[in-house]
Amino acid sequence: MVRMDLNCDMGEGFGVYRSGNDEQLMRYITSANIACGYHGGDPATMRSTVRMALSHGVAIGAHPGLPDLAGFGRRRMEITPMEAYEMTVYQLGALMAFARAEGGGLSHVKPHGALYHMAAKDAALAEAIAEAVYKVDGSLLLFGLAGSELIRAGERIGLRAAREAFADRTYEEDGTLTPRTVEGAVLESSEAAAAQAVLLATEGKARTRQGSYVAVEADTICVHGDSPGALAHVIALRQALTEAKITIQAPGTL
């Protein structure tokens, strides 16, 4: 039996600004990566998103990012490993408190945006983030790009690591995601996103932007909650994976 987690980045609005259709998306996913206040999110949004996840039986994950609200955490910043460690601990603590206050807990951690991609290639940053997660709660799953330094760092320190793939992004031939600055980096068609998800889940590979195929072993598949077509994508993915006889389960039960 092939099993797969379906995750989505959520709670990324703040103040009067809203991002994504979290309430509707929650019905179709199995894990939610909730912004912790740096790239998005605020106390009210964090609490309401945690409550939504609990009401739908969705696993709660922390989604720490760089301190960059204006750039949505997608702009690279020069930070030291110690800074990466400290900002990860800080953000984990914030979301963990909200989860506990609402009668739940965290299941996983997934860095956001530029921090995620920096840790995919920079071993020192990856080790700092993995250490932060391990010291806060060594039972948490660490989500990272399949084949990345972050996955290797998590496994070395003793964390359970979930290899992540993306249904709504294109890949390069080295297994990295196509930068968002490149045209076509985001798949806008729900049919294309669903087809990629099934290919990832059943054959462990993805079609690259260049037209070849690259091996991508995944435990969890992501759809970005802030994408305009996110809800249509998730509905199409869930249907396609079910038709392909893929069992969709939360990360803690994989």
CATH number of 161's domain: 3.20.20.370
Q: What mean pLDDT value characterizes the chain?
A: 94
* pLDDT confidence tier of residue 254, bands split at 50, 70 and 90: low
Query: CA 204, CA 157: separation in Å to the nearest integer?
Result: 26
Task: State percent of the chain over pLDDT 90.
Answer: 83
Are the C-beta atoms of 51 and 28 separated by less than 8 Å?
A: no
Instruction: Give the angle subtended at the CA of 197 by the CAs of 153 and 152, to the nearest 5°.
Output: 5
* Residue at token pair 């700092």: 128
Query: CA 254, CA 248: separation in Å to the nearest integer?
Result: 9
Task: State percent of the chain over pLDDT 70.
Answer: 99
Predicted pLDDT of residue 226: 75
Q: What's the average model confidence in pLDDT over 142-147?
A: 95
Predicted pLDDT of residue 15: 83
Question: In the predicted model, is pLDDT for residue 16 greater than 70?
Answer: yes
Residues facing 145 on adjacent strands? 164
Expressed as residue numbers, the domain containing 181 is: 2-253
Higher pLDDT, 17 or 187: 187
Instruction: Locate 114 and state its tokens.
Output: 């530029």
Encode pLDDT of 163-173 as tens digits.
999 998 999 99
As for how many domains the chain has, the answer is 1
Which whole-number Å values give the CA distances from 206 to 113, 218, 224, 247, in the listed order?
Answer: 20, 11, 17, 20
**Per-state percent for the chain, helix, strand, coil, to nearest 5:** 40, 20, 40
Are the C-beta atoms of 109 and 62 separated by less than 8 Å?
A: yes
Predicted pLDDT of residue 94: 98
Query: CA 42, CA 212: separation in Å to the nearest integer?
Result: 41
Burial class (CB in 10 A: 0-12, 13-18, 19+), 16: exposed
- When mean pLDDT is compared across 10-14, 79-83, 121-125, 222-226, the lowest value belongs to 222-226
Predicted pLDDT of residue 253: 60
Encode pLDDT of 71-127 as tens digits.
999 999 999 999 999 999 999 999 999 999 999 999 999 999 999 999 999 999 999
Query: CA 18, CA 21: separation in Å to the nearest integer?
Result: 9
Give the contacts of 70 (CB within 8 A, at least 6 positions apart). Answer: none
Predicted pLDDT of residue 189: 92
pTM as predicted: 0.93
Helix (H) or strand (E) run with residue 129 in it? helix 123-136
Question: In the predicted model, is pLDDT for residue 4 greater than 90?
Answer: yes
Residue 191: how many other CB atoms lie within 10 Å: 12
